Structure 1
Amino acid sequence: MISKYNIGFIEPYVLKKVISQKTSYLKINGRFQKRFFTDDSQFIQRSVIPTMHFQRSLPRLPIPELSLTCQRYLRAQKPLLAPNDFANTESLVKEFQQNEGLNLQNMLKKKNDLNKHTSYITADWFDMYLSDRTPLPINYNPILVFKHTDEAYNSQLLRSTNLLISSLRFYKSLQSNILEPEIFHLNPKKSDTSQFKTIMKYLPESISWYGAYMYNAYPLDMSQYSSLFNSTRIPNIKKDTLHKNPSGKHIVVMRGGHFYKFDVFNDNGNIIAPQLLLSKLQYILKNNIPPSEHPVGVLTTSERDNWARLRTHLEMLGNKDTLNAIDNSLMMIALDDESLNSEPISIVKQYLHSNGTNRWFDKSFTLIVCSDGTAGLNFEHSWGDGVAVLRYFQDISKDSVDSPRCHPGDFSVEINSDNLNVQKLEFVLDDQLKSEIAKTKDQFKCTYESMDTNYFEFFDVGRETCKKFGISADSLMQLCFQLGHYKLHKKHVGSYESCSTAAFKHGRTETVRPCTIETADFCQAVSCKNKPANDILVDMIKKCSTEHSKLVKEGAMGQGFDRHLFALKLLAEQNNLEIPKLFTDPAYKSINHNILSTSSLTSNYVWLGGFGPVVKNGYGIGYTILEKYSGAIITNYREHTDGNKFREALTQSLNQILSVLKTGS
């Protein structure tokens, strides 16, 4: 089973300075605070280098050598299997490498040569997502939650308006090809400069990537950005489709299960006045009609084939235009009436699933703002991964805080709804659909009430601590997860960490396998009665870090084994070939049953981030590592696992690892 979460290992994104930045001061709560704004209110950035300048010359994702994939697969299996089982798997892998694997590898290379515009995994990866019939919320859609802004700006109305305006500025910069390209600078002092940008601008697109490479700078794939806006997933029987409407001028706002539509651009394509946008949202917030008795949005929580049938029925009743208005909208905002009081677990539950009545989970992303100003995103996963979403999230977070377009005191005193052009979308429902909506609400309630959420955090442990001990911060967290699980269950299990392959054209993700021979050895050594001396344990921790860093590097360079084996297995199925025994081996199924599904959501702009477990008896772990802070959101299903005990085990594990490092160094 392929892991459902592929957010991607993301180093903290460093926002570049906005060109032509000016400064003014605004009095807030009796204090003067600095405000930043650009000369052009329509754009969030005006990049010297065109946004898609490097896209044409990006290198293609490599197909790993078959022998290396087999070696890596066996090394990942070794800590999970008993000696006899490993010997059997080793024999099957050797047979595969010498026989069917060679044939499938040649077929994959030929297929790759015929599709030089993309990567060998892209189309099949999209199909994997779109063919899965599992409901989207909890199972697929992750969340990111913004940090609170200044209290004066943190009202629901001001927060949602400023985030909307920053989103539109981001969108216009992207559409105008002036959003800064995503570039990983290994030596920022050399490459993140005006000279570098000017040289890159004039290099032909066909060689631009190679020019950046000479500066030790690596442009990243930005093909997913076109699906951020004007995009949605449409349910169909057996396989969904991704729908795009590049000409969308309106957004859809949900409140109380009701849908509202209004334009955000004028006839010239410019963002309409901030005060007018604020008034439109204010009108919706003041329209205190009761919550929808039959909230259609909850149907997006359903099993995909069921939702496809119900959507067809909706269209037959005359709702096609209403559905098109939702599908074709530039973006979606959900205004929730809940006040969460900064309580992390309540916030995660609200953004990850809520009760489903004020959501449309099919949309590429939904900007959610609660009544207390808490704001975040829930995003659909088939179209893309965390790199594009996090970039958007960070840019609008910074822009909406540093350059707010609406301020305290801007609230309209009088709202003339006739001049606002806010249209309430209505659905025509029959008794069958009303019954299905009620049934779906109950089913979804059973699902989300069966899920548990926990979190742990350390305020004095982060990258700074890890640098002191000479280990990778990411490896420290992963070792903590391995040790925590081992403490509870006394066994090693299939574990997943997402790693972005955005360094390649149409790159998505690769799997890092954090349960290694080294982590297994350490877990057993530190847990036994006769523990080795601390200096030996420290050495073992450093070996865990070295191996983990190697796996992350291999994954980022497209040299993991998971995607490769996935593609080879799929080729056998597509060509009606006998499925190699490697793939029918219980060990293959077991390693892909990811009990620990993890992803780094590290960013100075993210307050909370998370996702659901990918298997019933597993844990979903979204974790953050800052300079002096580490934390994780943990989700699980109560019937199968105890999330609170796992949280306690993780806390004990991290303390134990830190104790070893401190006393052994």
Structure 2
Amino acid sequence: MWIDAFLALRDSIAFHSNAALAFQADPNPEQNDQLTRATNLTISAIRFLKTFRAGYLEPEVMHLYPEKTDNEQFKKLIQFISPDIVCTAASLVSAYPLDMSQFYRLFNTTRIPLNKKDDLVTNESGMHILVLRNGNFYVFNVLDGDGNIVKASEIHAHLKYILSNESPTPEFPVGYLTSENRNTWAKLRNELLHNGNEEAMSLVETAIFSLCLDDFSVTDTDQLVQTLHHGEGMNRWFDKSFNLIITKDGSAGINLETSWGDGVAVIRFMNEVFKDSTQEPLVTPHSQVANVDSSHMVRKLDFHLNDTLKEGISEAKENFEAMRKSLTFQCFRFEKGGKAFLKRQKVSPDAMIQLSFQMAFLSLYGQTVPTYEACSTGTFKHGRTEIIRPASVYTKRCSEAFIREAFRYKVRDLRNMLSDCSEYHIRLIREAAMGQGFDRHLFALRFLAASKTGPMIPDFFQDPAYSYLNENILLTNTLSSPLVANIAFAPVVSDGIAVGYSVHQDYLKFTVSSHCGRNVGEFNQGVTKCLENIFSVLEGRPIHS
């Protein structure tokens, strides 16, 4: 049901559902050379693929008491328990294996545009990767006929060949089509297939993944997340399960197509690939490339375009540029404290961050709005996500007290309100993670009702309150990996704000986006001020208006 809901979305996936995740820089500055980093990340990604398909990838496990179970002794002990009861045995000590079925879609997977609802196709026969540079398409094998990884020096040579290729940007870059409305793209894809491009499209869609080599450097974090989220359009194939993107200065990250999977799979992949590529790099800027003729082993794809396709690409480019201009990203850090301080104060860091969003929105726009926070349900078979609803009677009361009536309350009373918000938020997280949320339950009921009654769905789902609840004006998501620098995505409604954030020991990091209807800078300043007030009260100090 959930995958079908994603695949039925008709808006541009580039601007409405795909997400961007940035790697940290390689700790060895020399290794951030574009060619070197592209080679090492590619090889590490293929090593991850081989490990997973061989059945050797260590399972994802949620450890409620990591000091007891997240260690080598527990891992050795659990190996002797029968597979039939191992999950039950682990759960008895609060170690919960997570569903890993999504990992199957990580490689060789493409979202195929079709009228009304797309298809998700995985073809493991592909031994090649797709490389995009300046809107040009190249393919070469990274696995040999026996399924072994091609020598690092050969992959190094092929990427060097592509980076030295002087082919100009095509007049009509086909990559723009994947950013179009899905029904429009479905028609144009059929036109591509019927105009002599079957083989080229097959090579694109069966590739293990897409590697995008951007021919420019990024100057700051804002530009990096914009580049990873949508870039220049022509140098992406947004339908691939993921695009691995490396800019000219070696900044790197992923553009994720989200119909097939969620953060659990992608963060695990990024963590492993980052560690492998930085701790055991197979090439350096001084490495000699293999003595191979890359011009015969790297194939440049040429597309045959008729007038209909040329017009479609031109319109797709215009639509892309309009959407890009309407969307703003801005990153900021809150440096006055992080997880360590909030834990000492016995409040949930996530609760305080979400509360700051509620306070900031109330102070700027005078209202409380539907708010979405994603929560993994990976403890269940084929689990995806549930929604945490951070906007509550507790956050509203607390926000109004801090924003409008702080002078009426003692610091102790404000502190108690923060504790109430924290306790309730922890309860919401626990309920969502254990399948006790209401959003997915109602979604399933609506799906089943529609399948039986057609367009006449029950009155409940036509109620204005239900419709408003699902207009998620504040869209939020967090990640927990020190190796992933930023997560970015766009709002799902025109007047919305999207916030990706991460919690660190001594600081908090945010990436905020909005369309023209909201001012990102004002919201960021509001969040900063509200966090300062929250921290002041937690320290026992009065807040300043």
Check conservation: 1:355, 1:441, Cα contact below 8 A.
Answer: no
Distance apart, 1:235 and its partner CA: 0.4
In 2, Cα distance between equivalents of 1:384 and 1:427:
30
1:460-479 correspondence runs (5 A): 460-479=336-355
Which of 617, 625, 629 aligns to 2:503? It is 625
In 2, Cα distance between equivalents of 1:188 and 1:661:
28
In 2, Cα distance between equivalents of 1:523 and 1:210:
42
Are 2:181 and 1:300 equivalent residues in the alignment? no
Give the letter for the 2:501 counterpart.
Y
Instruction: Decide which moves more: 170-179 or 405-414.
Output: 405-414
Query: Where does residue 441 of structure 2 map in the other structure?
Result: 564
Distance apart, 1:199 and its partner CA: 4.0
Are 2:257 and 1:384 equivalent residues in the alignment? no
Query: Where does residue 545 of structure 1 map in the other structure?
Result: 422
In 1, Cα distance between equivalents of 2:379 and 2:408:
42
Distance 1:285 1:411, change over 3 A: farther
Distance apart, 1:414 and its partner CA: 7.2
Check conservation: 1:131, 1:239, Cα contact below 8 A.
Answer: yes
SS at match of 1:138: helix
SS at match of 2:196: helix
Distance apart, 1:624 and its partner CA: 1.0
Distance apart, 1:202 and its partner CA: 4.0
Deviation track 1:609-663 (CA, whole Å, cap 9, x = no partner) reads 110011000001001111111021111011x111111111111111111122222
Which of 535, 543, 555 aligns to 2:432? It is 555
Query: Where does residue 447 of structure 1 map in the other structure?
Result: 323
Which of 365, 387, 392 aligns to 1:511? It is 387
Which of 248, 251, 262 aligns to 2:129? It is 251
1:464-503 correspondence runs (5 A): 464-503=340-379
1:169-318 correspondence runs (5 A): 169-318=47-196
Give the letter for the 2:437 counterpart.
G
In 1, Cα distance between equivalents of 2:19 and 2:91:
33
In 2, Cα distance between equivalents of 1:632 and 1:612:
14
Query: Where does residue 645 of structure 1 map in the other structure?
Result: 522
Distance 1:183 1:265, change over 3 A: same
In 1, Cα distance between equivalents of 2:473 and 2:125:
42
In 2, Cα distance between equivalents of 1:414 and 1:172:
26
Which of 126, 136, 152 aligns to 2:13? It is 136
Query: Where does residue 432 of structure 1 map in the other structure?
Result: 308
Give the letter for the 1:387 counterpart.
V
In 2, Cα distance between equivalents of 1:155 and 1:347:
16
Which of 443, 451, 466 aligns to 1:588? It is 466
Distance apart, 1:467 and its partner CA: 1.1
Query: Where does residue 410 of structure 2 map in the other structure?
Result: 533
Are 2:450 and 1:573 equivalent residues in the alignment? yes
Instruction: Decide which moves more: 615-624 or 211-220.
Output: 211-220
1:88-99 correspondence runs (5 A): none
Unaligned runs of 5+ in 1: 1-123
1:29-44 correspondence runs (5 A): none
Query: Where does residue 11 of structure 1 map in the other structure?
Result: none
In 2, Cα distance between equivalents of 1:281 and 1:400:
16
Distance apart, 1:214 and its partner CA: 2.9
Of structures 1 and 2, the one with the larger relative CO (CA 8 A, separation 6+) is: 1
- What is the TM-score of this pair, normalised by structure 2? 0.96
Distance apart, 1:459 and its partner CA: 2.4
Distance apart, 1:307 and its partner CA: 0.2
In 2, Cα distance between equivalents of 1:466 and 1:209:
33
In 1, Cα distance between equivalents of 2:60 and 2:290:
42
Distance apart, 1:531 and its partner CA: 3.1
Distance apart, 1:190 and its partner CA: 3.2
Which of 462, 481, 487 aligns to 1:603? It is 481
Give the letter for the 2:483 counterpart.
Y
Deviation track 1:80-134 (CA, whole Å, cap 9, x = no partner) reads xxxxxxxxxxxxxxxxxxxxxxxxxxxxxxxxxxxxxxxxxxxx11110011111
Check conservation: 1:283, 1:415, Cα contact below 8 A.
Answer: no
In 2, Cα distance between equivalents of 1:527 and 1:281:
55
In 2, Cα distance between equivalents of 1:474 and 1:254:
38
- Number of aligned residues: 539
Unaligned runs of 5+ in 2: none
Check conservation: 2:335, 2:506, Cα contact below 8 A.
Answer: yes
Distance apart, 1:415 and its partner CA: 6.7
Distance apart, 1:198 and its partner CA: 3.6
Distance apart, 1:465 and its partner CA: 1.2
Are 2:241 and 1:364 equivalent residues in the alignment? yes
Distance apart, 1:216 and its partner CA: 2.4
Check conservation: 1:301, 1:440, Cα contact below 8 A.
Answer: yes
Distance apart, 1:569 and its partner CA: 1.8
SS at match of 1:485: helix
Check conservation: 1:535, 1:664, Cα contact below 8 A.
Answer: no
Distance apart, 1:664 and its partner CA: 4.7
Check conservation: 1:317, 1:428, Cα contact below 8 A.
Answer: yes
Check conservation: 1:456, 1:651, Cα contact below 8 A.
Answer: no
Deviation track 1:228-279 (CA, whole Å, cap 9, x = no partner) reads 0011100001110000112221111000111111011123321111111100
In 2, Cα distance between equivalents of 1:446 and 1:193:
51
Check conservation: 2:154, 2:292, Cα contact below 8 A.
Answer: no
Distance 1:458 1:515, change over 3 A: same
Percent identity for Structure 1 against Structure 2: 40
Distance apart, 1:411 and its partner CA: 4.2
Distance apart, 1:408 and its partner CA: 2.6
SS at match of 1:632: strand
SS at match of 2:84: coil
Distance apart, 1:195 and its partner CA: 4.4
